[in-house]
Chains A and B, each alone.
Chain A
């Protein structure tokens, strides 16, 4: 079975731009969670989608949004990028409430 894939793997954007990151879960997995990892804050939960519905949301501003499609693929969007948004963005998938499998991450650099 293919693992969780994330695209793109690396991205450089300028302040004020917006960005869309994509996550394809393991086949059959209906839950996709997104996390942000920074040196200062560590790993933080962004949001979780299950069967196309947002099931939970972390403490991030409204500039961070996401969605999930009927095939369970998920995207997250960050609008009006700030320097502090530079981070490794990870997604993880699971069947329902079991073990989570992490993707390789997208490293976003905002200049």
Chain B
């Protein structure tokens, strides 16, 4: 079983819809990252969370440390949000920036 699981693997939405992507992890973490990767593109860090909730524009990320679960929400989705969204965790063990990645969620927002 992977240490970081994401769901769904694929998601198709209509423009304007509210989108939720989920991430569950099985290790103790010091932080969780949400990353975005457009097709053929590099990776952009959207959020780094260790507790609670963060908001940036139409994107909201939440984390529940006790339940080892995080969600990424996109409000009023737009075709430019189409990308792969990747959840990654930084282990609590040791002084390291090593990230353990989920397999990603491929989001397609149709106009």
Residue positions of A touching B, CB distance < 8 A: 31, 33, 35, 42-45, 48, 50, 55-56, 58, 90, 92, 94, 97-105
Q: Is the CB of A45 within 8 A of B42?
A: no
Contact with A along B48-91 (1 / 0, CB 8 A): 10000000000000000000000000000000000000101010
Closest 9 CB pairs of A and B: A43-B101, A104-B42, A102-B43, A56-B96, A99-B48, A45-B98, A56-B98, A31-B97, A33-B97
Of B43, B90, B104, which is within 8 A of A90 by CB?
B43
Answer yes or no: B27 CB below 8 A from chain A CBs.
no
A45 contacts B99, CB within 8 Å? yes
Chain A residues with CB under 8 Å of B99's CB are: 33, 35, 43, 45, 92, 100
B96 A48 Cβ-Cβ under 8 A: yes
- Range class of the B interface residue count: 20 to 34
- Contact partners of B97 in chain A: CB under 8 A: 31, 33, 48, 50, 55-56, 92, 94, 97, 100
Given A55-B95, A56-B96; A44-B44 close (CB under 8 Å): no
Q: Which residues of B contact A48 (CB under 8 A)?
A: 96-98
Interface residue B26 (Cβ < 8 Å from any Cβ of A):
no
State whether B45 touches A102 (Cβ < 8 A): yes
- Is B104 touching A42 in the complex (CB atoms < 8 A)? yes
* Chain B residues in 8 Å Cβ range of A42: 101, 103-104
Interface membership of B19, Cβ < 8 A: no
Q: Which of B35, B45, B95, B100 contacts A45 (CB 8 A)?
A: B100
Q: Are B45 and A99 in contact (CB under 8 A)?
A: yes
Residue of A nearest to B94 (CB): A56
**Shortest distance from the beta carbon of A32 to any chain B beta carbon, whole Å:** 9
A43 partner, pick from B41, B45, B86, beta carbons under 8 A: B86
* Bound Cα distance from A103 to B43, whole angstroms: 7
- B95: chain A residues within 8 A (beta carbon): 55, 97
- The distance in angstroms between the C-alpha atoms of A32 and B95, with both chains bound, is 13
Provide 7 A-B residue pairs closer than 8 Å at the C-beta atoms, listed in order of the A residue. A35-B99, A42-B101, A48-B96, A56-B96, A92-B43, A92-B99, A104-B42
